[in-house]
Amino acid sequence: MTHYRDTNRTQFEIFKSLDRDAPINMLNLVQFFDKAAYPADHPLAGENLTGAQAYGKYGETSGPVLARVGGTVIWRGGFDVSLIGAPDEAWDAMFIVHFPKAAAFLAMVTDPEYQSSVIHRQAAVQDSRLIRTRPLPPSDVFA
């Protein structure tokens, strides 16, 4: 099984080439390590934190930057079961973050305070998906 933890340079370049003034919603699907995997020289390496606890630290330390750029978590959900997809693909965290502009997401990920928080995300995440979407109006049909 292939795991995806960080952005891919090619995919990130595609993201950057899209309209930066458009509002976006970022769909996040995250699977945690049972035990956080901090680098050996990190102060939290010997603390025996779970992946969920390390991700909580990521949320605490990156949250102020998210708020500063105007990002908001607009939906969170708890995983039950996949009806379509790999039966062993379960997600520990699922949420959608709204950004008023794609440029706000870029401002967040390049902010030094945010970048210093990423160590917690890297220690926490075994597998993830991060999908840029554009908001559409609600509908009563699937199309």
Q: What is the pTM assigned to this prediction?
A: 0.92
Dihedral sign (CA 9, 36, 78, 22): negative
- pLDDT given for residue 86 in this prediction: 87
Spatial distance between the Cα atoms of 15 and 20, rounded to a whole number of angstroms: 9
CATH class label, 21-82+94-133:
alpha beta
Spatial distance between the Cα atoms of 29 and 125, rounded to a whole number of angstroms: 10
Q: 35-73 pLDDT, tens per residue?
A: 999 999 999 998 999 999 999 999 999 999 999 999 999
- pLDDT given for residue 4 in this prediction: 80
In DSSP terms, 95 is beta-bridged to: 28, 76
Residue ranges of domains in the chain: 21-82+94-133
Helix 102-110 × helix 51-68 angle, to 10°: 120
Could you read off the pLDDT tens digit of each residue along the chain, which spans 143 residues? 678 877 889 999 999 999 999 999 999 999 999 999 999 999 999 899 999 999 999 999 999 999 999 999 999 999 999 999 988 889 999 999 999 999 999 999 999 999 999 999 999 999 999 999 999 999 999 87
Whether the CB-CB separation of 41 and 123 falls below 8 Å is answered with: no
